[in-house]
Amino acid sequence: MNETISIIGAGSWGTALAILLAKKGHRVYLWHRDMQIIEDFKKFNQNIKYLPNIEFPENIVPTNNLSCVSKSNIVVLAIASQAIREICKKIKSYINETHIIINVAKGIEYGTLNRMSEVINQELPNNEVMILSGPSHAEEVARDIPTTVVIAGKNRIKTEKIQDLFMSPLFRVYTNPDIVGVELGGALKNIIALGAGISDGLGYGDNTKAALMSRGIVEISRLGQAMGANISTFAGLSGIGDLIVTCTSNHSRNRRAGILLGKGKQVGEVLEEIGMVVEGIRTTYAAYKLSIKHNVEMPITEELYNVLYNNADVKQSVNNLMLRNKTHEMEEIVLGTYDGW
């Protein structure tokens, strides 16, 4: 059965998901706030800025009017994480309790330290909220390169409905009831990707990056457990899977930002050169504050926080990590269970 879907946010990921869903026969409203960009979509039948040379299927309807939400029963939030609360306030008058809200933004709210589902639930308390995450570069999804992701939701039947909505021969979707873990895995891996980029920018090698990734997933798991996530989630697509792709791919804007930082550029220069939101910068701040709140040791995050917010020298930060007190590698991984789902 074909659905009508509104995708709020027409960056690379929102556009890629619109193309994916439209190819499956669904009618997709693709919203962007700028009318000129919408006119360009209609004129060129593609997103020239973010996904050039990929034509829109005919059942994508570009719009700058948020009332499109009232014409759909599923809403995908594909905007920067720090804009989620504002957009939820704006669409509230157009939705009812039957709408399913799917968030694909990967971040933590800067001021409140809330996860994205918490933000959405605060603004839209009567709606089912789900999280789509995993190793999924928009550039590859839009070009039909096989990709696998995870959808997290509280209600199994509704979650499996959304699984079917997105599932295709080239886009495999798993389900997971652990919203906390899926969100945190998707958000926190951007911090480690910044570190991996810095390592590349400094000219370090594969050994260094492997260490960052290995110890990075430990930090992510520690904080996740402290915040109520199931540790086994971090061994899956939204944990180690997303971490691998974001730390190693040239598509990753967080890794690219890290490379520029490693080469000595300041944060402002980096953001200007990237030209898109770099979620890991704000997420580093939030994760550092959360580590203090939950009394969780996160040395990589702490050093990146000092680089980004205290102007610490990147080489000195690497030295600080290498010269920490010696310890055992005794990280115990316990497979979790999901009762009542």
Find the catalytic residue in 89, 106, 189, 293.
189
Q: Are 279 and 190 in contact (CB under 8 A)?
A: yes
E runs forming strands in 225-326: none
* Strand 128-133 with 100-103, pairing: parallel
CA distance 341 to 338: 6
CA distance 10 to 33: 9
Closest CA to 282 of 260, 309, 314, 250: 309
* First-to-final CA distance of the chain: 25
Instruction: Count Cβ atoms within 10 A of the Cβ of residue 320 and give its class: 0-12 exposed, 13-18 middle, 19 or more buried.
Output: middle
Phi, psi of 173, deg, nearest 5: -125, 125
Residue 147 three-state SS: strand
189 is catalytic: yes
The token duo for 210 is: 């492997």
For 208: left if phi > 0, alpha if psi spans -120 to 50, otherwise beta; the answer is alpha
Q: List active site positions.
A: 189
